[in-house]
Chain A
């Protein structure tokens, strides 16, 4: 199994500011995934982060709003930029380990924008 540490677990931020969420995995993984879960809703994939290349974004998500870094095989960050109240959500990172088996999730970051 893979253990994922995600920080912060929650934050309250002012509109117009940015928040960076960190995801640390205890295994080396090729791909890391970032999801958004809006209040009372399901999870939606934001982007896939590969080490050494630019992240691949899903429809409706753009790099300027959600820049992602992937400096090595065990770490990734997601930044939520220029936040508005509509960005209030839970953000989760995920990895698959071992390959082609179970997807593990971080504990999630509950973001509230005021």
Chain B
């Protein structure tokens, strides 16, 4: 079984600044994928970024990038030029590949507040 741990229950950042959210995971799988999801007060789960474990290159998506350290089983999310709309709960998630793809294991979540 895999576990996902987010050690920061809450984070805050000033608008336009950079913030990093931490995530560690544990698995015996070789084929897996990692995600960051955003959940604003509307409850809608929104994919922020996706990383394939077999890719060494860190995923980037506009202002969002990850630092994927496979050996350390670490997967942090960096948000640059933070915007008020980034305020939300952020979840780190894991899924194995193959027939288990889509069965997500989530971390506890980090509440991010962006201040004007």
- What residues make up the interface of B, taking CB atoms closer than 8 Å to A? 35, 42-45, 47, 50, 91, 95, 97, 101-109
Known: A43-B104, A108-B43, A108-B44. 7 other contacts (CB 8 A): A33-B104, A102-B50, A103-B104, A107-B42, A107-B43, A107-B44, A110-B43
Contact of B108 among A33, A42, A100 (CB under 8 A): A42
- B45 x A92 contact (CB < 8 A): yes
Contact of B106 among A43, A99, A100 (CB under 8 A): A43
> Which chain B residues border A103 with CB–CB below 8 Å?
35, 47, 95, 102, 104
> Which chain B residues border A96 with CB–CB below 8 Å?
101-102
> Which chain A residues border B107 with CB–CB below 8 Å?
42
Number of residues of chain A lying within 8 A (CB) of chain B:
23
- A42 x B45 contact (CB < 8 A): no
How many residue-residue contacts, CB under 8 A, span A and B? 50
> Which chain A residues border B109 with CB–CB below 8 Å?
41-42
A95 to B5, CA, bound (A): 24
Contact of B103 among A42, A48, A92, A100 (CB under 8 A): A48
* CB-based nearest B residue for A10: B43
> Which chain B residues border A31 with CB–CB below 8 Å?
102
Q: A105 in the interface, Cβ–Cβ < 8 Å? A: yes
Q: How far is the CB of A12 from chain B (nearest CB, A)?
A: 16
* CB-based nearest A residue for B33: A100
Can you show 11 pairs from A to B with CB atoms below 8 A apart?
A33-B104, A42-B108, A43-B91, A43-B104, A43-B106, A45-B104, A95-B102, A99-B101, A105-B45, A107-B43, A107-B44
- In chain A, positions 2-32 with a C-beta closer than 8 Å to chain B are 31
> Which chain B residues border A48 with CB–CB below 8 Å?
102-103
